[in-house]
Structure 1
């Protein structure tokens, strides 16, 4: 046995024996002989928070990540003391704390170990910074798998990996490169078919080791701050992700156009070039809703200015683009050019809003405009000022969205690519150095941007996108995966990153389609578009220095396939909008890795490529050149091949043939998939029917469709339409029950129901118990029904 003295000699310090405890409402405090305090708070019956301090008292409890409106409250809480340990019990969990060394074990009510400390909490005194490196190690069992941590460029299952969280500008990053742009210190463990989650809410540079250094040990540590983490019990991964998403918050609904296709490049200028690009989309009939202006639209890269040579009348241009269905999105970076004649700089200087070095002067760094100072977005007064700067862009000029970039924060020509660590931050009244504030700087910038755009876009909804983010940023912004590369490997990385972001609470995410750096082949671009239309955020973006990356930069075959898949995305907008509604209402991720979809099937635990789009569509991208098919895993259940309508029984790996203009897409049997007609942009068409693709299944299946006015806030007053279709299939009949909620009346009056995979000929059709006439010959040719939208029960009877 190793004694405390021996461990201290090795450099690590540990809690000694517990000498007292105190129970205060939802929290229990444990005090050790050597002044360690452990505070355990029962947030909910299945969600427990652990805070440790080594100084005998806790600092102010403050977090940017936790959503103030998260649900809390428990049904049962009991604290008992035994000879060797203390026990805290809720209606879902038992938490045991050893008296001798403060080690913690968590059990379900059946006595199964969910998670237990290995060495548990320990720390190392960091004399360089005059604080502690705080550490936690947990015992890991054979076969345990790990998922999450945001957009890491590595395989889905993190077992065997060591990862680092420090927001970093990683231009042209590679597979397994660490760290990247975002910091989401949340992971999901899966062992013996039970899932749990750990959210380590610490904004310092953090590390996670999933049995990399030691085979049966998982550990996480931070270069400062508190050991402060939340344990979330499943047992389903769905429960863990939903609880975490509730804890860190959910966004508002975006305007529907934000879920359309977006086109971007560094850079579209002057105005004639922008108009040329937008006109070409309309000419080729490739739907597109947003055009982006990168840094060259500004005067010398000064934020909130326009280059009048390139864009002499931005208000007129933005209005003309809007008439053609294009929403204009502009980039805004954090670096404010040092220029006494520049109004934004002058005002920030007068009000003392810039970040300062520890010894007093403003922190100065080089980015696109040259030498810059940087606003301290951790100061609420600065955030309020920043929000107000968007009045001209949004209210006067008519810009519809803002893109925050370089906000890791990125600084050029310095080895660490960012601020010096001694830069000071307000941190909402909890003053600190950049070591603590670095990882949340980008999120606070996006937060300030969101409040500004929302204020001036009202009564419409705002659209914000950010490159850097910390846990909880999803409340304010969408995101993309940063400066990727036009390679097949990066197509593989993008697929995993967006799945991982989805189960890490940040659902509204996509990648730069085609790759930002270097030039894709027509084949690679095509395969990327085919994946990208199934990502919540869908945008082509490139660095532009290697040539063009619009769909027409390639041959006519690529143009045609791009149109085919972007058309499919626009048809699926009601399905995608419904996914988003379920994400914000219920915390259900929009993309589901197979392990999330069916964790009890061990075959899913190491799958990377396949994912569930929404609840009922299975997608598997083609990730290699010259491929007209691939092996893929079909999860358990029955699935229809979207292209051929042939039925496949899942639970096995199969070979799927595809063409160049297809990727493997399957629809769950029993599903009803809603579709709009193809539009060149959201709101272009008025239409009188909603298409419903109904895939036959013997048995029961539920499908839902959410709709509202597609923008604005009336949905928060109950003006939405939420349809629930319950399908029951039998050998020779099918029943569809329709339940409606909400006060919004959709523009269409009828449904066109495509009947797919029916095993019988239809003899009669009843609507609300009344038989209706139908043209049998035409019906057998077309296989669809047109019915009024007001029905309650549709009964199809076979011969």
Structure 2
């Protein structure tokens, strides 16, 4: 018997859940009964929903952990007991610290404007927990439900999930490492889209740049001040009265001319769309949508109108096609990327009533009330927008950013951490927020650098730029009526730190692009917690002011202390610090793991400046055996020719023998020929000490250690 809200229940059904192996070895689907399994609604998180519903017969492994369940008042309560010392991560877009033990999360997409570390629901929903066991092995747990879901991690080593019945639970592992779990998870829900390379540069935005003339001023100032930047963003005020697919007749009267100006100066243009369509006869988009009958409806069958707006029902294929056709036309204005906002969906400061009706496709669950489709509305809008961009030009990779999302959104769009604040708390939270998104299958994310709400001061902004320049998605953005937050808006020191931080990013772009290639092809995160370097080290489990970009450790200052000399707790092994002759106390410390080789590029102002014939630099740190390995992935930076083998993947190895380090190509892949270019090898010896040599890429390069008392 269980007490709840002052009442006593007498009918409680509880038992172990029933496992069925799916997808691949070590992955199990659990249901409360065979009847539940047969009647479960389709999966919206799996890339191929049939994989969730099709048992495999080749698995001879039983589940290590079997969840138990209780059915109480139309709620399914699932419980998983794990060994002592288990650490919890993931749970999607969440505020607070990196390690999630002690937290409760409610998956309900919410416009959480100005959230804090106690906020339980943000803009995205990921009913997913990554559990790292004390021995470094890991288990992934997905509650495959779109409905409001409570994930209770308040008890150590215990996962409790509560949601309306009935839903399957999917477990991945335990596997040997957290990375293995995430790769298996990605094979189920899909990997991140391969981004166009320009989208990995710096993005500058504001709500809002109030005219096309102001946008031109921003772009020209970046070039004049030689601060690297690739993208300028247009927020909602470019529209005519917030009407989607329109342009303000005075302030943005000629979007094609603006786009041409930006393109001529090596910038891309990203423009905002939202799901709010003005309920206004004569507005061409409204009239078109009404004719096609694509609006979300009330229970009475009439279009739902919220504060003067109607909303496309993206659960219907007809509505998605309608939207995609308008996106296709919109892109012809010189639109390079699209930002979709307010798509939780936000309505009347909250969202739609649960009673609102979506006439969904059968493969999504058919006709359902809003409580079923609320959490996936933003993802389905992202899918439709993505498809519209591909219709406009199928030879370019779409770039999109979405505020709302669900498990699987990474297939269509990048994301960011929403309306954060210009304070030190939000700078500190930015790292664990980006990391937990990555640990939930969303590797392409970042925070609004400097904070969106409020006025940053110089030290906060420059330290935030130092951290944000290392995030997978790198954008500065600020709210209207706040102070200007462009890199030059504070003082000369701040401007110079921003310039240095972004130069770092652009020099590291070949390495960052490598990491996106791995994220796209294997499902690994771009940025990972420091404990990924040694999952068995319990001392690293809560470390959230540092993170890894592959073998590069980024150690940041996220406090307002004047001196940036905190003691760094490094993982076991060899970690050698490096920089780009750009030391500043507000920039993160960088370390390269022994045994690693990473590629670097010459400094540039935008991605388009880089050429394949440019010099390549390899940064090398040997392991204790005197060896190192790394790779460089190269393709056109856009388009899909890489799928037909048009790329070059080079693996480099280094080996120390008799005081000589030899660096050579060990293997190549892809049909591209290697360009004739110089190769600069920089060998990290110890902190502040390097050896380097020049050669030709593809040929053997050697570095000789200096003899005692003599020259090299």
TM-score category, normalised to shorter length: over 0.9
Corresponding residue SS for 1:633: coil
Choose which of 417, 427, 431 in structure 2 pairs with 1:495: 431
Structure 1 or 2, whichever has the larger Rg, is 1
Corresponding residue SS for 2:656: strand
> Which is worse superposed, 515-524 or 37-46?
37-46
Choose which of 638, 652, 656 in structure 2 pairs with 1:725: 652
Task: Determine the structure 2 residue equivalent to 1:537.
Answer: 473
How far is 1:666 from its partner?
Answer: 1.1
Choose which of 357, 373, 384 in structure 2 pairs with 1:424: 357
Write 1 or 2 for the structure with the bigger share of strand.
1
User: Are residue 596 (structure 1) and residue 532 (structure 2) matched?
Assistant: yes
Question: Which residues in structure 2 correspond to 1:635-674 (within 5 Å)?
Answer: 635-643=571-579, 659-674=584-599
Task: Determine the structure 2 residue equivalent to 1:196.
Answer: 139
Corresponding residue SS for 2:560: coil
Question: Which residues in structure 2 correspond to 1:394-793 (within 5 Å)?
Answer: 394=331, 396-413=332-349, 417-429=350-362, 430-643=366-579, 659-686=584-611, 687-699=613-625, 700-730=627-657, 732-738=659-665, 739-745=667-673, 747-757=675-685, 783-791=691-699, 793=700
Task: Determine the structure 2 residue equivalent to 1:28.
Answer: none
Deviation readout 1:579-632 (Å, 9 max, x if unpaired): 000111111111110223311112112222221112334433433342322123
How far is 1:730 from its partner?
Answer: 4.5
Task: Determine the structure 1 residue equivalent to 2:191.
Answer: 250
Task: Determine the structure 2 residue equivalent to 1:110.
Answer: none
Q: What TM-score does the superposition give when structure 2 sets the normalisation length?
A: 0.92
**For 2:577 and 2:196, how far apart are their aligned partners in 1?**
31
8 Å contact from structure 2 (residues 192, 444) kept in 1: no
Deviation readout 1:116-169 (Å, 9 max, x if unpaired): 44xx111122xxxxxx21111122433221111112102111112221110000
CA change 1:56–1:546 in 2 (3 A) is closer
8 Å contact from structure 1 (residues 424, 431) kept in 2: yes
**For 1:260 and 1:240, how far apart are their aligned partners in 2?**
29
User: Are residue 373 (structure 1) and residue 310 (structure 2) matched?
Assistant: yes
User: Are residue 150 (structure 1) and residue 98 (structure 2) matched?
Assistant: no
How far is 1:170 from its partner?
Answer: 0.5
> Which is worse superposed, 717-726 or 217-226?
217-226
Corresponding residue SS for 1:58: helix
**For 2:237 and 2:227, how far apart are their aligned partners in 1?**
26
Choose which of 169, 174, 181 in structure 1 pairs with 2:123: 181
**For 2:117 and 2:189, how far apart are their aligned partners in 1?**
28
Choose which of 85, 94, 97 in structure 1 pairs with 2:62: 94
Task: Determine the structure 1 residue equivalent to 2:300.
Answer: 359
**For 1:502 and 1:465, how far apart are their aligned partners in 2?**
15
User: Are residue 271 (structure 1) and residue 212 (structure 2) matched?
Assistant: yes
Question: Which residues in structure 2 correspond to 1:213-232 (within 5 Å)?
Answer: 217-232=158-173
How far is 1:76 from its partner?
Answer: 9.0
Deviation readout 1:281-312 (Å, 9 max, x if unpaired): 00100011100000000000000000020012
Corresponding residue SS for 1:382: helix
8 Å contact from structure 2 (residues 80, 158) kept in 1: yes
**For 1:640 and 1:589, how far apart are their aligned partners in 2?**
23
Gaps of 5+ in 1: 18-36, 79-89, 96-105, 107-114, 126-131, 646-657, 760-779
Deviation readout 1:62-111 (Å, 9 max, x if unpaired): 11210129989999958xxxxxxxxxxx44x324xxxxxxxxxx2xxxxx
Count of residue correspondences: 694
CA change 1:134–1:56 in 2 (3 A) is closer
CA change 1:345–1:681 in 2 (3 A) is same
8 Å contact from structure 2 (residues 694, 701) kept in 1: no
How far is 1:384 from its partner?
Answer: 1.0
Q: CA RMSD in A?
A: 2.6
User: Are residue 341 (structure 1) and residue 276 (structure 2) matched?
Assistant: no
Task: Determine the structure 1 residue equivalent to 2:239.
Answer: 298
How far is 1:728 from its partner?
Answer: 2.2
Choose which of 329, 334, 337 in structure 2 pairs with 1:392: 329
Q: What TM-score does the superposition give when structure 1 sets the normalisation length?
A: 0.83
Deviation readout 1:456-482 (Å, 9 max, x if unpaired): 133111100000110000001100010
How far is 1:60 from its partner?
Answer: 5.6
8 Å contact from structure 1 (residues 688, 747) kept in 2: no
CA change 1:644–1:134 in 2 (3 A) is same
CA change 1:9–1:41 in 2 (3 A) is farther
**For 2:10 and 2:600, how far apart are their aligned partners in 1?**
62
**For 1:520 and 1:446, how far apart are their aligned partners in 2?**
31
CA change 1:559–1:705 in 2 (3 A) is same
**For 1:554 and 1:317, how far apart are their aligned partners in 2?**
27
Task: Determine the structure 2 residue equivalent to 1:23.
Answer: none
How far is 1:757 from its partner?
Answer: 1.4
**For 2:655 and 2:50, how far apart are their aligned partners in 1?**
36
Task: Determine the structure 1 residue equivalent to 2:710.
Answer: none
How far is 1:380 from its partner?
Answer: 1.1
Higher-RCO chain (CA-CA 8 Å, sequence separation at least 6)? 2
Deviation readout 1:744-791 (Å, 9 max, x if unpaired): 2355522122233189xxxxxxxxxxxxxxxxxxxx9x9432212222
Corresponding residue SS for 2:32: strand
How far is 1:13 from its partner?
Answer: 2.2
Deviation readout 1:243-272 (Å, 9 max, x if unpaired): 111211013311110000000000012111
CA change 1:728–1:632 in 2 (3 A) is same
How far is 1:674 from its partner?
Answer: 1.2
How far is 1:190 from its partner?
Answer: 2.1
> Which is worse superposed, 252-261 or 227-236?
227-236
